[in-house]
Structures are given as structure tokens and as C-alpha cells.
Amino acid sequence: MIKRLNAHDEGFKQAFDAFVMQEREGGADVAEVVRDIIKAVRADGLAAVKTYTQKFDGFELTDDNIKVSADEIDRAEAACEPDDLTALDFAAARIRSYHQRQMPRDERYTDDMGVTLGWRWTSVDAAGLYAPGGRAAYPSSVLMNAIPAKVAGVGRLAMATPAPKGQMNPLVLAAAKRAGIDEIYRIGGAQGIAALAFGAGPIAPVDAIVGPGNAYVAEAKRQVFGHVGIDSIAGPSEILVVADGKNNPEWIAADLLSQAEHDPSSQSILITDDGGFADKVSAAVDEQLAASARKTIADAAWRNNSAIITVASLEDAPALVDRIAPEHLELAVDEPEALLAKVRHAGAIFLGRLTPEAVGDYVAGPDHVLPTARAARYASGLSVMDFMKRSSIIGCDEAALAKIGPAAARLADAEGLPSHAKSVRVRLKQ
């Protein structure tokens, strides 16, 4: 039975808070297992990667087959449906166009004391991309992770993706070709992350690692952070739909299940001011679940992690949205801009009844790699900025140093750092 919460009920606040804070990932602690894998890859390199690939993917990795060849990529592309390739091209062009607009600008100016100041943006030299290959393979994620890196100017982009029993998804390889990925390695799991971070055999270390994965991949990214940069620690998928009773309940039900079908740990939430509409959506979800090819997964997510919340007015919705800080937020109302202005925390926001979350997953343009588990309170979706860093620029001539130097030396004295102070004063005496 789906959880139903009503803002009118006594005890709603406590029930809502408990729902927001519930743990969804569960399972055994993987930190120690991942720590051992990373340690082995750092010590033994490719030999350890081969061992773990045989153990987890049932595939004998060799020096010859670890890297996917250009011929293999071309054969995979030729095996894809032409309409699928056309859709990939369409999506890639929109994603590239959107991210090109995100590129930051360098700045250089001279302030009123004559000091040259500014900043300069440069990309990382090399980035690693992890592409899942277990429960499902996602060509769209390859585009979403790789294209921003290339737009940012990353010179080398290496992808690690598991190949269970040696098999790889042809459309994933076709997407990698379109995104401009330079190297593809058929390794997955924590060992794939470790190989990207520290190097293994033909795999040179990278500077940043992005991409989704299971609990072991997420924990591996957590453990290599600091040695390399990462995008985020991704959790289970989430959607929150704010909808009034004017919507088609079948549409909203499909939107809710679009995230529930990802994983049993996913979460779908409906907030509405119409109890009768809530009943219709619940019934429509049950009907669609019965016919779903991913019924087992989606049903577990819907029954165990999801909720329908009824409020007196949709004016009450933004406060609840901000507490949840969802990965995806749909505002399926007459005037979505009015609610948008009151919402502060969400990864991606979809405006109106005709903007299902799925268009953001594939072809809208903005990245679908988004903060989960309430991280939208402080984090953003993947962008070109995840592959860039900013260097400050400072320059003084004699007159400028004379104006700002004495204060710097005085502060150095106050902090008990005499060499700091002297490095300024020796120049002031010149």
C-alpha cells in the first residue's frame, strides 16, 4: 500500500520528517570491500583489475582485449538501429549546445590602487567516465557525462564500463563515439574507478572521475576523492511531482513510475491539493505497474520508498519541496512560474503539464546527472564546471605595492609570520 500523508492530519510534521529522513539504500557496508579493491589495484595494477574482472564479470581480461578498438566501436555502431543513432545524434547536439552556454569567462581588471586582478579558467587535462553496464546500460548517460567534458576542453577522456561475460551494449559504444571519448576500457566496479584514479597497465591516471554506478562504484568514488576530483556520490533516483486536479492522472502516474522503474531504492512523490485526484493517480499507478516490464523493480520502489501527500493548497507545496530537495521536480500546474519562484532546492525543474521528466533524461539539453538524497540543498547538476578550475591572477607594480603592501605586512606581523612580512617590506624599501 502506498504511503499517504495529509497535511491536515495531527502528527503530519513528524510523519513527514520521518519520511524525508528514511534510509533508502540499505544493504551491507561496502566500504571495507572497496577499500581492499582499491588497495590491490594500487599495489598490483592491471593484475588486480584482471582478477576482479574475472570474479565479478565472469570475463577473462587480457592485455589485448582490455581496450575497445576503433574497429569494434564501428561494428557496434553498424549493429545499432538507424533510428536509434538518429536519436543519439539529436540528443548529442542539444546537450552540446546547452553546455556551450555554460562556459565561464576569464576576467582581468585593474582596481583603483593599480593592482592587476582577475581569474582564468582552464580544464583538467584528463577525465574518467564510468558508464554502468549491470542492471541497465544507459547511452544517454554517456552523452550527458562526456559532452560537458569535451565542451570544457578536456584533452583526454577515458571511459570504464563493465562487460559482463565480455558483452558490451552497442548503443553505449555508439554514444561514446559521438561524445568524443578517446579511450574505452571494458572494466567496471570499484576496480574500474581505482584504475582510472591511479592507473593500471595501459590506463593512465586521470584528474577527475564522473558517472553513475552501484553502491560499490559510489563508495570507490568517495574513497578516491582528494586524489582526483569527482562529480558527486550519486544515490537512488527521485522524482517529486506537484500537481493539481486538472491533470490527467495517467500522465502523472507514468511520470512517477519513470523514476520508480530505475531501481528498487528509487523514490516517487506526488504533492497535490486534490484528494480525489490523488486516488485516481494511485489507481493509475497500480494499473500501469501491472503491465510494466519492470514491475518488480518499480513496485518495490513505489511501495517501500514513495508517497502521496495531500495539502490544503499548492501554496503550501514549496516549503515541502525544499525539505525534500528532490533530484527531479515537476510543476504540473496552470502557472508553474509562480511556484518556481518559491522553490529553492531541486536538481532539475520541469515546468507545466507538457514537460515530463523523461525529456530531461534524453533530449532537452540540461544534464541529467543531478544531486540526489537531498543534496540539491547545496549541490548542482553536472556541468562544464565539473571539468574546470579557476586560477586567481594578481599583479603589482611599484606604486600598487606601496599602497597595499604595508597592510599586508602588518597583518603578517599580527599572525606571527615574519618571513611573510619581510617578503613585502624588502620590496617596499627598494
Q: Is 72 known to be catalytic?
A: no
CA distance 223 to 94: 34
Give me the helices (H) in 341-417, please: 357-362, 398-414
CB-neighbour burial class of residue 130 (10 A; exposed 0-12, middle 13-18, buried 19+): buried
CA distance 238 to 69: 36
The CB density around residue 207, as the number of other CB atoms within 10 Å, is 19
Please name which of 234, 180, 241 lies closest in space to residue 209, comparing C-alpha atoms.
234
CA distance 27 to 33: 13
CA distance 90 to 163: 27
CB-neighbour burial class of residue 196 (10 A; exposed 0-12, middle 13-18, buried 19+): buried
CA distance 169 to 68: 12
Q: How far is CA 142 from the centre of its chain?
A: 12
Q: Which amino acid type is present at position 383?
A: S
Active-site pick, 327, 330, 345, 368: 327
At which residue does the C-alpha cell 507514468 appear?
Answer: 254
DSSP-based three-state secondary structure for 154: coil
Q: Is 32 known to be catalytic?
A: no
Length of the chain counted residue by residue: 430
Active-site pick, 262, 328, 345, 368: 328
Please name which of 133, 176, 163, 177 lies closest in space to residue 62, comparing C-alpha atoms.
163
**Catalytic machinery residues:** 327-328
